Structure formats: C-alpha cells, structure tokens
Amino acid sequence: MKKIAILTNGGDAPGLNAVIRAIVKTAENNNIECYGFIEGYKGLLENNYVKLESTGNVSDIIGKGGTIIGTSNNTNVFNLKVVNENGEVEYKDLSEVCVQNIKNDGFECLFTLGGDGTQKSSRDFSLRGINCIGIPKTIDNDVASTDITFGYNTAVSVATEALDRLHTTAEAHHRIMVLEVMGRYAGWITLESAISGGADCALIPEIPYDINKVVEKIESRKAKGKNFSIVVVSEGAMPKDGTISIKRKLDEGNGLDNVRLRRSRRKSCYRIRRVDWNDC
C-alpha cells in the first residue's frame, strides 16, 4: 500500500485533528502517502483533496479544535439532493462518481472519521470494492459495535459541568431546571451526565417517559423540603403512547440523516430551560 486518503464527515467533535495527525504519522512511518478530502463526502464527490504531511500542514494541529480538512453533514452521496436545470428537486445516488474518483486517484484505502451516518456510507463503499477503515467519531456514542466514540467524553463533561452550575441557581430560585442535551436516538449523554451531575430525572430515547412519573418525583422532593429539581432530557426523548418530535423531513425521510428532530441548535450540546413550580 502506497497511497491512502482521509475524510472527516458529520458534525465536528474534539479529537478530529489528533486522529488525522496519528494516521498521517503512521502512514509516513510506513512509506505511505496520505491525502485528505476537503469537507468530507462533499470533497470525495468533487474530487477535492490535499496532501497531508507531518512536517507541513499537520505539524501543529494536535491542540486545535475542529478539523483542518473540513467536514460536511448534509452530503449523503447515496441519496443526494440535486436541483435540476428546470428547478425541480430530486434525490440521486452519486456514489459511483465517488468510487471512480478513488480509483482514478489511486487511493488504496479510505479512512472515514465520522458517526453513524458516515460509517453507514463507509460500509456501502466497502460493499462496492473500496477498502475503508471507519474511525467512530460522534458525541452521541451511537456507532454500533463501539464502546466509546471519540468526542463523547467531552460532551458528557460539558453537560455535567452545566448541571453543576445549574444546581446552585435552581436551589437559590426554587426552580425546576430542564437541561436538554444532544444524542438523537441514543441517551448516553443524558444518562451519564445525569448520574455524574446528580440530576433528579433523566428522560432518554430508549425508554418512553411518563410525564406523570416525572411530576411525582418532583412533588416527592418538594414534600421533603427540596424546593428545586434538575431534569435532563435527551433531544430524542418521547412520551409513552407518543412519537418523537420531528421538525422536518428531507425526501420523506429516505436516506441517511434525512430526519431533523425538533431540538435546540446543534452548535451546543445542551440547552437550558427554567420552570416555575406552578408550571409543574
């Protein structure tokens, strides 16, 4: 093997540049040239890439956030939104263009740094004869057959710190503080931050919640003289006999990541709401 490529796809997460650096240095130690596609699968589709070198553009990135080769979280090349000349919108499978780009460029292996959607596409490329190595990156920790994804521990730490800060405010003002955290259909961030941050209730996607049980818990604390409560809610949580809250669907929900949940902006891993006792 003499030539490999890397792409980072999906939302950014802590550790991306460190992983890129590790791949490049390992490749160079084995006399392998390393390249990076710009902006994830978008760069793969457009055949836009740069050479990566440990003594050049990779030399000082280990402490930097984000990713030096960029990322894309809306480029599903297996089901890509395309606007035709007449203005009509349709979804096309353009994965074969990517396959040909990889072969024409002479890349013998593709490293895909990304989460659930990224690795599904990586799997599908491997089924088309492309050698792929998937490196699980997501704060959601929802990649199958993976114990811990890089980026997850940082998200839990940030959410836990938010809970620590909320406790004093909630107690001082006799509030019910609701902390919404990310995770889509997986409740790992919610569950672990709730445990480590001492929350009173945790609502996760895997277990539909009964709002009456939440109220009972809060009222029982109130009866014991605890005039505040902390509730952590996953963005994908849903009530019993209810459905998940969806903001919109792209292409009727077909393809990877074409369902947008109704949640806070993904620029932050949490959102805070304050609730008066009378609202409970």
- Catalytic (active-site) positions: 140
Q: What angle do CA 91, 92, 95 make, to 5 degrees?
A: 140
Reference 21, options 54, 49, 67; nearest CA is: 54
Provide the residue type at 114 as one letter: G
**Cα three-residue angle 48-149-106, rounded to 5 degrees:** 30
Separation between Cα atoms, residue 122 and residue 110, nearest integer Å: 9
d(CA 112, CA 9): 7
What Rg value do the Cα atoms of the chain yield, rounded?
A: 22
Q: Whose CA is closest to 105, among 5, 220, 20, 208?
A: 5
Helix 188-197, helix 152-173: angle, nearest 10: 50
Q: Which helix (H) or strand (E) holds 270?
A: strand 270-275
